[in-house]
Amino acid sequence: MLISVFVLLCGCGSASADEPAFMVYYPAPGTMQLKAEKYKGEEYDAEALAAALYAKPDDASARTLSDLGVSINSVLSEGNIVHVDLGGGYRNLTASDRLLFDSALVRTLTQLEDIEGVRITVEGEAFTDEEGDLLPVLTAASFLYEYGTAADNSEMLCLYFANESGNALKSVICEVPGGTEKSREMRALEALFKGPEVPGYYPVIPEGAVINSLRISDGVAYCDLSSGIMSPCGNVNAEVTLYAIVNTITEAGGVSRVQILIDGENVKLFRESIDISGQLSRNLNILED
Amino acid sequence: MMVGLLSVGVTRSSILLDGSLVSLDNRSSELISRLRILSDRISGGAYSDENKKNIFLSDAAMLSDVYDSRVIITDRALKIIYDSYGNSTGRRLMSSAALRSFKDKAEIRNKEKDGYVTMAVPVRMYDAEGEIYCGGVVYAMLSAESVYKLENEKAGRSLIILLLFMGVLTAVAVVLSLLLERPLKNVAIQIRQAADFDGGDVSEAGYTETRDIAGAFNSMKNRMKALDDSRQEFVANVSHELKTPMASIKVLADSINMQPDAPLEMYQDFMQDISKEIDREDRIISDLLSLVHMEKGAPALDIKETDINLMLEDMIKRLGPLAKKNDVALVFESIRQVNADVDEIKLSSAFTNLIENGIKYNKRPGMVKVRLDADYREFTLVVSDTGIGIPEEEIRHIFERFYRVDKSHSREIGGTGLGLSIARRTIVLHRGQINVESEPGKGTEFTVKIPLVYNAEVQVKTPKGKNGKKKTKKH
């Protein structure tokens, strides 16, 4: 029985480590959610999983894909993409039902280790949505799951920790779970504060320091930290700590500049050595070579 | 103080309990109405040109900032076209609130779950045929934590205020008790020291209340002193009165013993005098006993319907000789026939006493007039004389036991000195009243009123009649 959900590049992040069984995700149009049930089959390939979506679920509120009026013509795995050709009934779905259908299908299929995406065609043709956009290859990342509804709304984020001597940064990509409630930047920063979970990487945040708030506005991240951040962390340089924070935030993708505040105040010097009164950009010079 | 604290504490808790939920509810109501506005702007063409779009997007960003909540806008296919967290464009929003809102074309606002409140507003568009369709969804996810943090701050602050309040109240209570302690203790000490009636007055002028206490205590002490004095005086008087006849008897007996050759007539004379003195003593003792008896409780009155006119006529007949002896004319004036419920024996002795006084304390020649009248409720007896009168300062004492206005002539005038007290007591027992007016040198007038019907239920306990007809003394 396969256990992993995603390919992990590092062991960090707190995604549920064991998923003991494969799940089949059914759309539940009543509650507008997905209902997960254990996969009862013995084959672990795309066709079998897709077929499972047509088997009657135990939960009465869940619907099979055929209940939605959509039939599967064919399922073909090619590399890490599954090509699924659907019957014409797919075109009759409302946008909301289609979203449920798509996410159920993609979520179920991408459980397979080597499957990363699903390409949907309708009667052999590409599908265009209401806005006139072509339906792309769908991956797990194509959907944004609401907080509290899915464990694997995780994202791969790039975090910066210290090297052994504490004088340079080392980057690592981690899977960080979460849903709609927090921005990527916030999740990345929280993971940074939590500390590295991989050997060879050393923490940059002193004990007792906390994130007061992180606000994104117009490409600038306003990062308010507690005064505990001013204390040193082990042998780590002030510069290393500071740019671990700045780089991690900017790497999350949404912003290019970071304004650091200490307990809500615009402070002149960070640990009496670095001027943080203005906005800071990413510093790649401090990376370990 | 306890009550005050309790009520403040309860009020605070109830305000705060509601506060969090109401605050969150208010916040999410405000937010959803803002989302509605955004949705209307989209329907109205906020995305139609670049300028409008930029303005719209910056407003959406500000909204997200102000409410500390993620705001997401989707297109018709539920793809994200705006995300205040900036990084999900193109993804499709798998939110039950958004999906439901899209499907039902209705506003959805969920209750708080896991610290967040989700809500969605559909973007209503009209197609070419004028039919409504859903052009997308405006979605927001409000963090309850920031609201709760505010409420907790409020709670913290109000707790501090409560504690401060408690502190102040405690301080005030302590100060007050310290302030009051000393004067109160002082008064208590003085009261204890004033166990002796003759001691000085208690005084503590610190506070009105302590002055009141001191004043009340002092007046009680003075009353008790007066009572004690009058008790001593009474005992002195009683002993004196009882001894006087004994002294006379002794004198008479000694003198006859000292004359061995006294003739028989002399012995007979002296024995008669001795006998008179013994009678006098006997009368004094009887009067005393009856007075004490009357004061003890309400003695049984032998109430019978009596012809008052007849009673008075008999009395006047009996007193005739005495009046003649004193050269006093006795006049009886009866306005009408009066029948009343009275104890004949006791009342006639009271009236007799009044008339006797009128005769005894009179001029030569003098007059005593007895006048009887009645109305439907009571009968009135007025005994007036042309006597020597009673001085003003003595009038209020005349009903006291053994009191004599003219102390020097008491022996010659005779009597026991108890007559008026007994008379007054009898009248009070009949639920009546007795008043006196006098002008020295001119005369005295006693007015007695007695109800025609005796009301047995009303209790008479003390000389100052508690219930029923209150006896008033006019001075």
> Which CATH number is B358's domain given?
3.30.565.10
- Specify if B188 maps to a domain: no
Which of A208 and B301 is assigned the larger pLDDT?
A: A208
What average pLDDT score do residues B268-289 get?
A: 85
Q: Do B116 and A148 touch (CB under 8 A)?
A: yes
**In the predicted structure, residue A94 carries a pLDDT above the cut 50:** yes
Q: At what angle do helices B344-360 and B308-325 cross, to 10 degrees?
A: 30
Return the minimum-mean-pLDDT range out of A246-255, B14-23, B420-429: B14-23
Tokens 């859903």 -> residue: B134
Q: Tell me what pLDDT residue A3 has.
A: 38
Residue B24 structure tokens:
């969150």
Closest-CA residue of chain B to A255: B86
Mutation to test the B interface, candidates A130, A213, A218, A250, most B Cβ within 10 Å: A130
What average pLDDT score do residues B439-465 get?
A: 77
**pLDDT class of B410 with cuts at 50, 70, 90:** low
Q: Is A184 on the interface with B (CB under 8 A)?
A: yes
Closest-CA residue of chain B to A33: B96
Which of B138 and B22 is assigned the larger pLDDT?
A: B138
From B245, B275, B295, give the residue that closes a domain: B295
Task: Encode burial over B320-348: b for 16+ CB neighbours within 10 A, e otherwise.
Answer: eeebeebebebebeeeeebebbbbbebbb
**pLDDT class of A48 with cuts at 50, 70, 90:** confident
Q: Are residues B307 and B285 in the same domain?
A: no
Mapping DSSP onto H, E and C, the string for B315-355 reads HHHHHHHHHHHCCEEEEEEECCCCEEEECHHHHHHHHHHHH
Q: Do B102 and A95 touch (CB under 8 A)?
A: yes
Residue B197 is classified by DSSP as T
Q: Are residues B415 and B434 in the same domain?
A: yes
**In the predicted structure, residue B100 carries a pLDDT above the cut 50:** yes
Return the minimum-mean-pLDDT range out of A212-226, B277-291, B318-332, B399-413: B399-413
**How distant is the Cα of B119 from the closest Cα of chain A, in angstroms?**
12
0.80 exceeded by pTM: no
Return the minimum-mean-pLDDT range out of A72-76, A95-99, A154-158, B201-205: B201-205
**In the predicted structure, residue B204 carries a pLDDT above the cut 70:** no
From B246, B264, B295, give the residue that closes a domain: B295
Which of B309 and A37 is assigned the larger pLDDT?
A: B309
Is the ipTM of this structure higher than 0.85? no
**How distant is the Cα of B52 from the closest Cα of chain A, in angstroms?**
17
- CATH code of the domain covering residue B283: 1.10.287.130
| Residues of A in Cβ contact (< 8 Å) with B91 | 141-144
> What is the rounded CA–CA span in Å between residue B144 and residue A181?
11
- Specify if B334 maps to a domain: yes
> What is the rounded CA–CA span in Å between residue B209 and residue B217?
12
Mean pLDDT of chain B: 82
Which of B462 and B221 is assigned the larger pLDDT?
A: B221
Which of B401 and B207 is assigned the larger pLDDT?
A: B401
| Per-residue pLDDT tens digits for B67-91 | 888 899 999 999 999 988 777 788 8
- CB within 8 A of B327, min separation 6: which ones? B364, B365, B366
What average pLDDT score do residues B98-103 get?
A: 92
> What is the rounded CA–CA span in Å between residue A99 and residue A101?
5
| Residues of A in Cβ contact (< 8 Å) with B99 | 32, 96, 99-100
| Per-residue pLDDT tens digits for B20-52 | 667 888 888 999 999 999 999 998 888 888 888
**In the predicted structure, residue B351 carries a pLDDT above the cut 70:** yes
**In the predicted structure, residue A73 carries a pLDDT above the cut 80:** yes
> What is the rounded CA–CA span in Å between residue B151 and residue A45?
53
Q: Tell me what pLDDT residue B17 has.
A: 57
Domain count, chain B: 3
- Specify if B459 maps to a domain: no
**In the predicted structure, residue A16 carries a pLDDT above the cut 50:** no
Q: Are A158 and A251 in contact (CB under 8 A)?
A: yes
Q: Tell me what pLDDT residue B4 has.
A: 62
| Residues of A in Cβ contact (< 8 Å) with B94 | 34, 99, 103, 143-146, 149-150
**How distant is the Cα of A239 from the closest Cα of chain B, in angstroms?**
27
> What is the rounded CA–CA span in Å between residue B388 and residue A237?
125
What average pLDDT score do residues B238-250 get?
A: 82
Closest-CA residue of chain B to A31: B96
Of A55-69, A74-88, B461-475, the range with the highest mean pLDDT is A74-88
> What is the rounded CA–CA span in Å between residue B270 and residue B264?
10
**pLDDT class of B16 with cuts at 50, 70, 90:** low
What average pLDDT score do residues A57-85 get?
A: 86
Q: Tell me what pLDDT residue A15 has.
A: 44
**How distant is the Cα of B2 from the closest Cα of chain A, in angstroms?**
40
Q: Do B99 and A145 touch (CB under 8 A)?
A: no
Q: Do B91 and A184 touch (CB under 8 A)?
A: no
What average pLDDT score do residues A132-161 get?
A: 79
- Specify if B185 maps to a domain: no
Q: Tell me what pLDDT residue A240 has.
A: 92
Sketch the domain layout of chain A as residue ranges. 23-142, 155-281
**pLDDT class of B411 with cuts at 50, 70, 90:** low
Q: Tell me what pLDDT residue A1 has.
A: 40
Mutation to test the A interface, candidates B55, B57, B62, B99, most A Cβ within 10 Å: B99
Q: Are residues B112 and B81 in the same domain?
A: yes
Alpha helix (H) residue ranges in chain A? 46-52, 95-109, 184-194, 238-251
Complete DSSP assignment for B27-51: HHHHHHHHHHHHHHHHHTTTTSSHH
Q: Across the A/B interface, how many CB contacts are shorter than 8 Å?
A: 107
Q: Tell me what pLDDT residue A146 has.
A: 80
What average pLDDT score do residues B89-97 get?
A: 88
pLDDT above 70 covers a percentage of chain A that reads 89
Q: Is A103 on the interface with B (CB under 8 A)?
A: yes
Q: Are residues B355 and B245 in the same domain?
A: no
Tokens 């006639």 -> residue: B348
Closest-CA residue of chain B to A150: B94
> What is the rounded CA–CA span in Å between residue B414 and residue B237?
15
What average pLDDT score do residues B324-348 get?
A: 91
Q: Are residues B361 and B270 in the same domain?
A: no
Fold of A23-142: GMP Synthetase; Chain A, domain 3 (3.30.300)
Q: Tell me what pLDDT residue A143 has.
A: 87
Q: Are residues B287 and B316 in the same domain?
A: no
| Per-residue pLDDT tens digits for A166-191 | 889 998 888 887 666 777 888 889 99
Tokens 């004196």 -> residue: B240
**In the predicted structure, residue A87 carries a pLDDT above the cut 50:** yes
Residue B67: domain span: 2-151
| Per-residue pLDDT tens digits for B284-329 | 788 878 777 776 666 678 888 999 999 999 888 888 888 888 899 9
Type of residue at A254: G
Mean pLDDT of chain A: 83
Type of residue at A171: S
Q: Are residues B409 and B326 in the same domain?
A: yes
What average pLDDT score do residues B185-196 get?
A: 76
**How distant is the Cα of A22 from the closest Cα of chain B, in angstroms?**
21
